[in-house]
Structure 1
Amino acid sequence: MFYAPDDRDRTLLPHNPLKAIVAPRPIGWISSLSPAGVANIAPYSFFNLVSESPDMVMFSSSGVKDTVRNILDTGEFVCNLATRALLAQVNLTSAVLPREESEFDLAGLARAPSRLVKPPRVARSPCALECVAVEVRELAGRSGASTGHWLVFGEIVGIHIDEAFVEDGILRVEKLNSLARCGYFDYAAVEEIHTLPRPGGQSFTSA
């Protein structure tokens, strides 16, 4: 089977499989704060760590939603780790609400204060990354036309970790049960890892 993105046979593939092909994808559970002080939180599956030294993350939004608008206004956000234990709340916070209403309240999420930025963290999330926006821009397609998709890059300025998940100096990802998006309405949780050192006995890339 082969098709161009604009020419999919919808009798064979009524639902776009692209997000199932590029999977699993980490979920950026992004909290932000409006200038009026309303805390917003929403999940984004176009999300990842994109560099270290400086440590930077990126997420993409379809349209200028409240998260992007808040970041444009304030320049700050927090990436809260989405876990299997919080799946129901992660899903609830994808709801579209008026800007003056908070998804924290909708999902019954307790807030925790951040140290270096103003947006709150999810109290139950075992890890969180406090970020300062360094670039926000609209993506263009190959023709140069606007796409309506917005890309946000943030530099990590603070990191929160629940020490209950640290063993022998290693953050145990399989115990965090980090969530990933797998396309359609599907999710996966990390439950098992396999350690495989790089050729030549190379150690971790950063200390």
Structure 2
Amino acid sequence: MHEFAPSDRTEREISRLVKTVVTPRPIAWISTVSDAGVDNLAPFSSYNYVSLTEPTVLFNTPNGPRSELKDTARNALESGEFVVNIVTEADIERMDHTSAALPDDESEFDLVDIERGESRTVSAPRVADATVSMECTLHDSIEVHDKLMILGDVQYVHVDDELLTDGQIDMRDLDTVGRLGGPYYTVSDPLPFERQF
């Protein structure tokens, strides 16, 4: 068994290790709007939920002074709003293109020609053809070492009717994309196994 303390490895080595073993990581395709009214759209593969009775989700982003934060984080903190759009296999190329670094006055929606959908409770648009979108208001932000954790309370949900079976999302029809280590991605493919306990 190969053993080591994280302090004995470089930051790059530890980053690669964690991103490889914490997999598959779901991807939040987050849309926000800046104070200047520019729509932003970017993927985050450090994303999950933290509460269910009052649904709350989180995403992590590199930490730093407010002026140096990624547009998504800065917009979410300043507006108090963001939308999590779910990434499916059909979206993978468009999602990847929205990772491009753009000037503050340009929108990834326009760069990739993604149609905006109107949100009901927040100002930020959603990805119109995303199979699921969750409108969120800022719950809190927490600095954790080199990361800034941003938590959002889900206020409204949009679900494609084709995903529903008896009013519930059928996972067999939701081909979500997950991030693996290195350059790899995966698509959900349910195993024919049911929990016994």
Compute the TM-score of the two structures, normalised by the length of structure 2: 0.89
Q: Which residue of 2 aligns with 1:188?
A: 186
* Distance (Å, rounded) in 2 between the aligned partners of 1:111 and 1:124: 8
Q: In structure 2, what is the Cα distance between the partners aligned to 1:195 and 1:94?
A: 35
Structure 1 position 173, deviation (Å): 2.0
Contact 1:30 1:77 in 2 (8 A): yes
Q: Offset at 1:179?
A: 0.7
Q: Is the 8 A contact 1:174 1:193 kept in 2?
A: no
- Percent identity, aligned pairs only, is 37
Quick check: which has more Rg, 1 or 2? 1
Pick the structure with more helix per residue: 2
2:141 corresponds to: 136
Contact 1:32 1:120 (8 Å CA) reproduced: yes
Name the residue aligned to 1:30. Answer: 30
Where in structure 1 do 4 or more consecutive aligned residues deviate above 4 Å?
Answer: none
Q: Deviations over 1:113-137 (max 9, x none)?
A: 0001010010121100000001023
Alignment partners' CA distance in 2, 1:175 and 1:26: 16
Taking a change above 3 Å as real, the CA distance of residues 6 and 106 of structure 1, as seen in their structure-2 partners, is farther
Q: Is the 8 A contact 2:6 2:14 kept in 1?
A: no
- Once residues 173 and 193 of structure 1 are traced to their aligned partners in structure 2, the CA distance between those partners, rounded to angstroms, is 11
**Is the aligned partner of 1:62 residue 2:67?**
no
| Superposition TM-score, scaled by structure 1 size | 0.85
Name the counterpart of 1:49.
Answer: 49
Aligned to 2:115: 110
Paired position in structure 1 for 2:165:
167
Following superposition, the deviation at residue 195 of structure 1 comes to 5.0
Q: Does the 8 Å CA contact 2:50/2:56 hold for their aligned counterparts?
A: yes
Q: Give aligned pairs, total.
A: 190
Letter in 2 for 1:128: S
